[in-house]
Structure 1
Amino acid sequence: MTQVDEGRSRAAAARLLEAANPDVYRRNPFRVTGVATDAPARRVRQERQRVLNVLDLMPDATVGDQVLPLPSRPAPDEVRAAFDALQRPDQRVIDELFWWWGEPGECGCEPEVHTLHDIAVRAHTEALDLEAAPGSDDPEARSERWVDVADAWADALDAPGFWAHVRHRVTALADRRLGESTVDGLRGAMARALMNPQVLLARKPGNGVLARLLDTWDVDAEVIDNARADAAAPVYEAVEAQLTAVGDLRDDTAPLTAARRALSELPDLARTMEALVPHERFRRSATLRNRISVMLNNCALPIRDSSAKPTVELKQALFEYAIELAVEAEDQRIIRDNLDDLLAAQRFRQAGGSLATSPWDQVNTLIRTRRVDDAIKLLRRMRDTETRPERRAEIESALAQLTQARAVVGGGQPAPWRWMTTLGLFLAAIAAVVYLTDVTWHLDMWLVMAGGAVATLVLTFFVCTTGYRMSIASNPLVGLLTLAIAGYAVWEVQTYGLAPFWMALAGFTIPLEITLPAGLWLAQKWNTR
């Protein structure tokens, strides 16, 4: 085939696809005028003159096809335009495809070829007339009707003489613009053209069933997929537009406005898109579906946690729809974690916690300010309201570490002056050990050292308890007073000799690797009782 022939073939296919819309039968010039599809040019001119003369005399006269009349009487101008269309052979050959072929004549076709074609035309015409008629239709009957249309055209196109008849008509029209390339172009585009009215109707709201019924056509899978994608084109555009609009709102620091718009628009668009082009079958649908999911999640995240029920419900609904629509497994996991965090936060609030910041941020703040006891209480509340095993294990681990550290860092507010009281107590303890073991009881020096070790254990336990750390020991006046008393006691006992004092001090310091951990362990048990 030459380049010119290829151009004619493409032109014929383009004209066929342009004509194939829901009005392809209602505006068919053969139906409007009542002229037979195989009528020669002379016969067409005679009918034109006769019919237009009748309409001039009687504008309300009935004209057109009598087998399947138009739902409403055509206006005289419409009839005149229909006769004009029959004067264009390149358009007439297309219009002949969509109206009766009747009894075979000069074409020499087998009667079955024309019969099957006319059955398909009738089924298609009636289906499209009913789609245009006002009022509801039984969904089951509607589906069966469109299945019948697909089956009827499949039978007609399978007839061996179908395209031989079209070839005969191209020859009979005797136009130099028509030829074998025209037939090839029509044959290549015929399947898509027959589906096109259904595709255009499927674009209307509530007509997703027509998109699904495209699968019943006995044509190549690629043709069906392209038809369904074409039916979804307006929805694709609407999704892209809404994603852009919602994203702009979110970027303009209007999180609640963006969230409300996302929730009101995106899930419905996703459902419409799924009816037309299921995401498991159409890559673009899957991509847009996942983008909707991510956008819903991203609109929920900036919303501050609140006790206000509408805000909580909005955020939860965004996460739930996002999980439902997520295509990528990793995105779904992340969004599910976000929803779980929200639900845990709500349970935490109901248990008396604050949602001004996240619970973990509150724990970190308390630890930084050395309010360890408050941090532990908060962690326990988080643990009691958490239902996810993995998150509960994280909280338990943090609790264990913080409880162990509390014996060292303390559980109350930071107290920079407490060291004076603590030092005073240790000096006083040394003096007491010397006084009791050496001066009063006259015990052996090794027992003086043992007394120092026991005193270390007891004092370590005491100063690491929460009660001590929350007591008036942090008051600088108390610290100074304690140091003064301890200093006086040390001065007094050293007058009895320095040896007992140094032995007691050795008893305090040498076994520290044993007595200090033991005291800390006892304090930890005491604090967590």
Structure 2
Amino acid sequence: MKESPARFADLAGLRLYRRNIFAVTGLPVDARGPAVRRQRQRLDARLAVERTWRGDARSPVRDGYRKEEVRLAFEEFQDPRRRLVDELTWYWGDADLGCGCAPAAHERHDEAVGAHLTAIEAETGRADLPSTGHARYWTDAAAGWARLLDSPGLRAHIAHRMTALADPRLDDHSPDDFLAGLPRLLLSPFAELADDRSVRPRLAEVCADWAEYPVFATPLPDVFEDTVEETADRLKDALRTAGERHEAGQHADALETLEQRVLPAYAEFESLEKFVSESRSEEMAHTVTVALNNVALGMCEAGLQRPFRSRLVEVMEAASRIAPTRDQAQIDQNLTAVRTGHAPAGAQQLKPSECAGCVLMLLTIVGGVVAGLTAGAAWATGIIIGGFVLAGMFAS
């Protein structure tokens, strides 16, 4: 199976239906060469005197398409690989596609397209639709597309359309190349919607509904990968700055970095936790907890409790809220010490990834034993030494 056609990337996101070539040109999905050329000539003449044209009546674009947008849409018709992707994501209606599908199959397809299009437009506020219906639109779209993608009839439909388009550029592709790209394309609007932090809690609930369908469950985490990584990188940069200032004895600057950069960046990461693996969320919480704890205690050790007392308590309270189970008891003890002003005597610094380092060392020993039994003492020694070096690097 070859890589999915590039058109999937072009349509990804909230523009999915807005840039569809059939929405832009107003042509039916069974339009062929002569009909396409005539429509292009008509629209060229029209847009020579008018600024925009409405497009298909079902297009979500209300202010019309400009001449350049129409020109680009007609160019997409020249490549059957790109055109076929747009066919699959637009209304089939009563077009005579000669595919042998039952009329009900085309109706279900169009219902899925309509529900998905409506959900996107309602979510972005570009459609005059009640907000109370947003969840239902997404639910209907997920159910409709999942049923369609699981239907063997869709593969047969694509195979027929590839034959009907009769273009050698399709010879190196199979229906599976198009089927493989559809789930991620349909999920792609979520990545842009997730940029708005205020909608993330509700978006997580919507995505949970989509994840109930196996066809969407696998690609769903990848949809948020870029958003998560960008947020994680900002958090890591903030933690690095705070750590450098802490090590240099710049205590007030380190505290300010925690307050103004680390905690806001972690709040951003935390708002994406529904789209992140549990292990990664826990490790990030541990890392931030350690940074908050150690800077606060470092300031106490430097005798700065009094001038920064309330701020240190707030930082330790944040650490207590964030702390994973493995750190909770020690953080709560440290928080009590900071509150009562007894730190550092009643408090303790934490080491990052202490638990994970122990696991790595344990795995190293087990691996060495197995290697000794199967490959000899030399292999066992090498694995154990290498593993302890890695564990040391990880802990540092």
Cα deviation per residue 1:119-150 (whole Å; 9 max; x = unaligned)?
11112222222344469987643333322221
Amino acid in structure 2 at the alignment position of 1:10: E
Q: Does 1:198 align with 2:195?
A: no
Aligned match of 1:396 = none
Q: 1:240 aligns with which of 236, 241, 244?
A: 236
Q: Between Structure 1 and Structure 2, whose CA radius of gyration is higher?
A: 1
Once the two structures are superposed, the pairs formed by residues 436-447 of structure 1 within 5 Å of their partners are none
Cα deviation per residue 1:436-461 (whole Å; 9 max; x = unaligned)?
xxxxxxxxxxxxxxxxxxxxxxxxxx
Distance between the aligned counterparts of 2:88 and 2:340, measured in 1?
A: 66
> What stretches of structure 1 of length at least 5 have no aligned partner?
1-5, 347-356, 361-529
Aligned match of 2:149 = 157
Structure 1 residue 273 displacement after superposition:
2.6
Aligned match of 2:89 = 98
Q: Does 1:282 align with 2:282?
A: no
Aligned match of 1:345 = 341
| Identity fraction in percent | 30
Contact 1:110–1:161 at 8 Å: present in 2 too? no
Q: 1:185 aligns with which of 146, 156, 177?
A: 177
Q: Does 1:120 align with 2:112?
A: yes
Aligned match of 2:219 = 223
Distance between the aligned counterparts of 1:138 and 1:241, measured in 2?
A: 41
Q: 1:298 aligns with which of 294, 300, 312?
A: 294
Cα deviation per residue 1:313-361 (whole Å; 9 max; x = unaligned)?
11111111112112251x3222222112112327xxxxxxxxxx9679x
Q: Secondary structure at the match of 1:102?
A: coil
Contact 1:29–1:83 at 8 Å: present in 2 too? yes
Amino acid in structure 1 at the alignment position of 2:314: A
Instruction: Give the CA RMSD over aligned residues.
Output: 2.8
Q: Secondary structure at the match of 1:10?
A: coil
Amino acid in structure 1 at the alignment position of 2:88: L
Amino acid in structure 2 at the alignment position of 1:285: S
Structure 1 residue 180 displacement after superposition:
7.3
Aligned match of 1:505 = none
Q: 1:38 aligns with which of 14, 24, 30?
A: 30
Distance between the aligned counterparts of 2:275 and 2:309, measured in 1?
A: 30
Aligned match of 1:260 = 256
Contact 1:279–1:289 at 8 Å: present in 2 too? no
Structure 1 residue 173 displacement after superposition:
1.7
Contact 1:255–1:299 at 8 Å: present in 2 too? yes
Between 1:77-86 and 1:171-180, the stretch displaced more is: 171-180
Distance between the aligned counterparts of 1:280 and 1:164, measured in 2?
A: 36
Q: 1:48 aligns with which of 36, 40, 53?
A: 40
Contact 2:148–2:154 at 8 Å: present in 1 too? yes
Structure 1 residue 278 displacement after superposition:
4.0
* TM-score between both structures, scaled by the size of structure 2: 0.77
Number of residue pairs matched by the alignment: 339
Once the two structures are superposed, the pairs formed by residues 341-420 of structure 1 within 5 Å of their partners are 341-345=337-341
Q: Secondary structure at the match of 1:289?
A: helix
Aligned match of 2:393 = none
Contact 2:4–2:181 at 8 Å: present in 1 too? no
Aligned match of 2:158 = 166
Aligned match of 2:65 = 74
Contact 2:30–2:95 at 8 Å: present in 1 too? no
Contact 2:29–2:95 at 8 Å: present in 1 too? no
Distance between the aligned counterparts of 1:302 and 1:62, measured in 2?
A: 66
Contact 1:263–1:296 at 8 Å: present in 2 too? no
Distance between the aligned counterparts of 1:156 and 1:278, measured in 2?
A: 27
Contact 1:166–1:183 at 8 Å: present in 2 too? yes
Contact 1:104–1:111 at 8 Å: present in 2 too? no
Cα deviation per residue 1:454-498 (whole Å; 9 max; x = unaligned)?
xxxxxxxxxxxxxxxxxxxxxxxxxxxxxxxxxxxxxxxxxxxxx
Aligned match of 1:147 = 139
Amino acid in structure 2 at the alignment position of 1:316: V
Cα deviation per residue 1:254-281 (whole Å; 9 max; x = unaligned)?
2222212212333343343333224994
Distance between the aligned counterparts of 2:172 and 2:142, measured in 1?
A: 27
* TM-score between both structures, scaled by the size of structure 1: 0.59
Structure 1 70/125 Cα, relative in aligned 2: closer, same or farther at 3 Å? Answer: same
Aligned match of 2:314 = 317
Structure 1 20/282 Cα, relative in aligned 2: closer, same or farther at 3 Å? Answer: same
Structure 1 residue 11 displacement after superposition:
4.2
Structure 1 residue 300 displacement after superposition:
1.0
Aligned match of 2:387 = none
Structure 1 124/213 Cα, relative in aligned 2: closer, same or farther at 3 Å? Answer: same
Q: Does 1:207 align with 2:199?
A: yes
Amino acid in structure 2 at the alignment position of 1:277: E
Once the two structures are superposed, the pairs formed by residues 320-339 of structure 1 within 5 Å of their partners are 320-329=317-326, 331-339=327-335
Cα deviation per residue 1:46-87 (whole Å; 9 max; x = unaligned)?
11111111222x314634101335222111111111111111
Amino acid in structure 1 at the alignment position of 2:55: G
Amino acid in structure 2 at the alignment position of 1:326: A
Amino acid in structure 2 at the alignment position of 1:185: D
Contact 1:211–1:275 at 8 Å: present in 2 too? no
Q: Which structure is richer in relative contact order (CA contacts within 8 A, separation 6 or more)? A: 2
Aligned match of 1:515 = none
